[in-house]
Amino acid sequence: MFKKIFIVPILMMFLLVGVAQAQTSDLPKPGMLPDSSFYFLKSWKEGIGTFFTFGDLKKAERFLNLSEKRLAEAEALADKNKSEMAERAVERYQEQLNLALAKAEEAKAEGLDADEVLAKVSEATLKHQAVLAEVYEKVPEQAKEAIQQAMEAGMREHEEALEAVSGQKQEEIRQELEQKKQETEQRLEEIKQRIPGVAITTDIIVGFCGETEADFGKTLDLYRQAEFDLAYLAQYSVRAGTQAAKRFKDDLPKAEKRRREKILNDLVAKIALKKNEALVGKKVSVLIEANKKSFLLGKTDSSKAIRLNGGSKALVGEFVYPTVTKALAWGLEGALKKKRSLN
């Protein structure tokens, strides 16, 4: 079954662009994975390479490259259903990304021209969101929080790296991000045309430090244009020890964050309900995931939750083709065609 769902990771508003949209990142091949008995040789080789890398700028690039290798490993491990190892790989990715940013900032503090390296870190952290979102979807619930934290931290580091570069370089990065945003919007339209009924989801943090009403307005515009079927929302909150906590003031009142979150949730619910209502009376392909006392639970090929009255436990893990009888904002209800009696 072709799963008609497209995930657009959009984590927070920033600077003039308003919304940062992730692009698919060209990561290095993962090579030997941590589940190999010989992985220590890979770690040993990388350690020697780092030891013989001199200068803060060179070290920043070195750690950025290593962080991308860890992210590639995390993606490969998630594909192999090794969620604990994937989670640890994401943690190491975050550690090495932090080192890359720290070394670049140290170089800048020493008077070196670190704009190019800082720009690489800023762009890479944004691109990595797409990979992290894929890992997030593949790991079980108990591992999702750690992946979500890495996504949030990555966007904070994106902001920090962008803040550290010179004004001229910032403007160049903003223009590049705006162009990528437009390209992503164009891809969304192409996907909608090629895959009728495609479901689009996103992740967003509202109320990041300095988020203006204009920034929030751009997010609303994006919601309306993309017509998200589902959005995972979270309010920004200070996490002790992070660079964001050290450098930025959490200047949005809690009440304002709640207001903006509610506006976004209400908008998604309205869009999702309209889309789901168009399915009433139609047959859909459903994978049955669970059996309750009097009903079945499953997911359509666009990952919409659906409840089916009746049915049996024997259908769990099977595909069925019910008719949608009712539309809700966050799911559907349907009915299976009853088999005719032979009597």
| pLDDT tens, residue by residue, 80-114 | 888 888 888 888 888 888 888 888 888 878 787 77
pLDDT of the residue at 244: 65
Residue 161 is assigned to a structural domain of this protein: yes
Residue 281 is assigned to a structural domain of this protein: no
Residue 340 is assigned to a structural domain of this protein: no
pLDDT of the residue at 13: 33
pLDDT of the residue at 163: 66
pLDDT at 9 over 50: no
323 and 263, same domain (yes or no): no
Residue 342 is assigned to a structural domain of this protein: no
Rounded CA-CA distance 330/240 in Å is: 34
207 and 245, same domain (yes or no): yes
Are 44 and 73 spatial neighbours (Cβ–Cβ below 8 Å)? Answer: no
Rounded CA-CA distance 331/1 in Å is: 20
Picking from 10-19, 112-121, 286-295, 301-310, which range would have the lowest pLDDT averaged per residue? 10-19
pLDDT of the residue at 282: 92
269 and 300, same domain (yes or no): no
- Crossing angle for the helix pair 83-109 and 115-138, nearest 10 degrees? 170
| DSSP annotation string for 297-310 | EEEETT--EEEEES
Q: Which candidate, 286, 290, 342, places its Cα nearest to that of 313?
A: 290
Percent of the chain, pLDDT > 90? Answer: 16
315 lies in which domain range?
286-335
Of residues 43 and 293, more confidence is placed in: 43
In angstroms and rounded to an integer, the radius of gyration of the C-alpha atoms of the chain is 23
Distance of CA 98 to the CA centre of its chain: 19
53 and 200, same domain (yes or no): yes
Picking from 25-29, 108-112, 120-124, 150-154, which range would have the lowest pLDDT averaged per residue? 25-29
Residue 112 is assigned to a structural domain of this protein: yes
Residue ending a domain, choose from 236, 253, 275: 275
87 and 185, same domain (yes or no): yes
Percent of the chain, pLDDT > 70? Answer: 83
CATH of residue 53: 3.30.750.200
| DSSP annotation string for 73-97 | HHHHHHHTT-HHHHHHHHHHHHHHH
271 and 302, same domain (yes or no): no
For 124, residues 6+ apart whose C-beta sits below 8 A from its C-beta are: 25, 64, 67, 68
pLDDT of the residue at 231: 84
Residue 216 is assigned to a structural domain of this protein: yes
Q: Which candidate, 294, 212, 268, places its Cα nearest to that of 307?
A: 294
Residue 296 is assigned to a structural domain of this protein: yes
211 and 304, same domain (yes or no): no
Mean pLDDT of the chain: 80
Rounded CA-CA distance 122/253 in Å is: 27
Considering its fold, how many domains does the chain have in total? 2
Residue 15 is assigned to a structural domain of this protein: yes
pLDDT at 162 over 70: no
Split at pLDDT 50, 70, 90, the class of 6 is very low
| DSSP annotation string for 29-80 | P--S-TTSTTHHHHHHHHHHHHHT--SHHHHHHHHHHHHHHHHHHHHHHHHT
Split at pLDDT 50, 70, 90, the class of 338 is low
Q: Which candidate, 28, 13, 105, places its Cα nearest to that of 59?
A: 105
70 and 14, same domain (yes or no): yes
132 and 177, same domain (yes or no): yes
Of residues 325 and 244, more confidence is placed in: 325
Identity of the highest mean pLDDT range in 103-117, 139-153, 271-285: 271-285
Classify residue 8 as exposed, middle or buried by CB count within 10 Å of its CB (0-12, 13-18, 19+): buried
Split at pLDDT 50, 70, 90, the class of 287 is very high
Residues 192-240 pLDDT 10s: 888 888 888 888 888 888 888 888 888 888 888 888 888 888 888 887 7
Average pLDDT for 158-178: 65
pLDDT of the residue at 135: 84
245 and 331, same domain (yes or no): no
The secondary structure of residue 326, as a DSSP letter, is E
37 and 151, same domain (yes or no): yes
Residues belonging to the chain: 343
Rounded CA-CA distance 242/213 in Å is: 25
What is the pTM for the complete model shown?
0.51
